[in-house]
Amino acid sequence: MKINGLRALALASATSVAALAGSAANAVEIEYWQYFFDARVAAMEQLIENFQAANPDITVTMTHFPYADYRTKVAAAIPAGEGPDVVQLFYGWLNDYVQAELIQPLPADVFPAATIDEEFFPMVQAMKEGDQYWALPTAVRSLALFYNERLMEEAGVEPPTTLDELLAAAAAMTKRDGAGNITQVGMTAGMTAQDHHWWREGLVRQMGGEPYTDDYQTVNYNTDAGLKALEFYTDMFMGENPVTAVGFMDEPQAAFKAGLAGMHIDGSFRIGSLADIRGLKWGVTELPATADGVRSNYSSYWVNAITTKAEGEKYDAAVKFMDYVSSDEAMQIWLDVVGELPAKPSVGMTEENANDPVFGPFIRGLEYAHTTKFADESGQRQLMVEMVERMQLEGMSAADSIAIAAEAEQKLLDEYYGE
């Protein structure tokens, strides 16, 4: 009996080893690519660990590159049949990735458009063409107003809730030297940072306009509303009593980090870089509304997509992985680790998350946020920079400068969509 028992044990062990070997032989390995950012890498490592625990027959290998090299690496690898099966890309690059045949649409049986429309924040619909989605985010971003608590207390002002209160608080926190030069700004400014988003999707809409029509293919801000928005913005540094200066300390976020700016508009992605600055006491509030309560915000996001390299069993594994990184669980992990906002109200609008003193203002801003569909984000941003520079350096009127910007951007859009 003892010998038979040993033989049985040996046979069972041999069977177990064979099963493991067979499982290893049948395991599918897929590659995931994203650009390098410490918190993003840490979050994705956790998601991959969770996914592999639930799917032991799938291995996910993550590769990341410096942001400056990322698009070039992706564009070279996929056509050669190499690189990622699932790739992270900025939402504004979607058209380029589709046209270059770098990604393929998500399967409608796993990602039905009607369900996604219902479950995700509305701005995600920019990833949809017809009845199919090309990509989905784990997290989204919005803008909010960061403020320096010490400078506000010193000036005797409170975080503003309206645009008029914003200007008054900024004036109270602005400091000048004996020659009249600004040494501390009440509010940062710079179209090269996030202000072009705030102006386009925030101020223009708050003044009663709409920056684009025809699904962002027609420029529509050379209007009374657009002009009013531009004058409001430029009066902060070109008016009779400037409360800021473009280029102060080179970058707006640098001035805020240094404690020399009372307020600063930025994205939720800035939270992590501010958290560890010693001596900087700061808070966050929603973007100020108009006097009659009109609010508007801008949202951007990075998405994940299945590449055209993924075929057969790798495609099936990529679909499963995409399904997980788009789940509620993944979104909460991403919020906790990275600080970027959940792409679904079911996660973002929980009582705990929506009322969080740091994340809350950004999350609540998603309810009235708009996502610009860029043809060429850097090119379109540069036109906003030049619009302001013409007024500053050449003394051009706001009306003339906004007309030039609108004409130039329409030409850019016509050339892009015409192709």
User: What span, in angstroms and rounded, lies between the C-alpha atoms of 379 and 26?
Assistant: 47
Contact 239, 252 (CB under 8 A): no
Q: What is the pLDDT of residue 15?
A: 39
The domains found in the chain, sorted by start residue, are 29-141+300-370 (3.40.190.10), 142-299+373-418 (3.40.190.10)
Of 384, 382, 387, 388, nearest to 238 (Cα)? 388
The encoded tokens of residue 138 equal: 């784990």
Place of tokens 């190499």: 82
Question: Could you tell me the mean pLDDT of each successive run of 10 residues in the chain, 419 residues long?
Answer: 41 40 66 92 96 97 93 93 95 90 97 96 90 95 96 98 98 96 96 96 98 96 98 97 93 94 93 85 97 96 96 97 97 90 93 92 92 90 98 97 98 91
CA angle 251, 150, 240 (to 5 degrees): 60
Q: What is the pLDDT of residue 272?
A: 77
Amino acid identity for residue 82 in this structure? E
Q: What is the pLDDT of residue 14?
A: 42
**Strands 128-129 vs 341-342: parallel, antiparallel or unpaired:** unpaired
Of 116, 54, 51, nearest to 86 (Cα)? 51
What element of type H or E holds 346? Answer: helix 345-348
- Alpha helices, DSSP H only, in 135-216? 149-155, 163-173, 196-197, 204-206
Q: What is the pLDDT of residue 3?
A: 40
Q: What is the pLDDT of residue 4?
A: 45
Contact 376, 416 (CB under 8 A): yes
Place of tokens 């102060």: 248
Q: What is the pLDDT of residue 11?
A: 42
